[in-house]
Amino acid sequence: MNKEMTVDELLARYAAGERDFSEIRLSYIPDRILSDVNLSGANFSKGNLGYDRLERVNLSGANLSEVDLSFTGFINCDLSGANLEESILCGERTWMEGCNCDAARAYLQTQKGH
């Protein structure tokens, strides 16, 4: 079961030293852009980060395994060393532009019918 969390709450908890955000579901806010933040090493496994646009976000070494990334745009993000195994992407609706994906592990799922 996913735990609902706002972006502000996520950032405050990360700043306080928390790194385990497994199974969270970020509250949906239309046209939300998350930019210029460091979330390196965070565990987002089995969560839902969909419907976001991330710009210049540091997700290096983050655990994004089994995360729903549907409708998520990544622009100039650092995903080096991130675990993206079995993450859910929705074809053209999830996209990456100018991202560093060096040594990222990925076995990606795509949802059919989207």
pLDDT tens, position by position, 95-112:
889 999 887 776 555 444
Q: What's the 3-state SS for 31-94?
A: CCEEECCECCCCECCCCECCCCEEECCECCCCECCCCECCCCEEECCECCCCECCCCEECHHHC
Is the CB of residue 11 less than 8 Å from the CB of residue 29?
no
The range of the structural domain enclosing residue 50 comes to: 1-114
- At 55, which CATH number? 2.160.20.80
Instruction: Report how many domains make up the chain.
Output: 1
Model confidence band, residue 21 (pLDDT cutoffs 50, 70, 90): very high
State the pLDDT at residue 105: 74
pLDDT tens, position by position, 33-47:
889 999 999 999 999
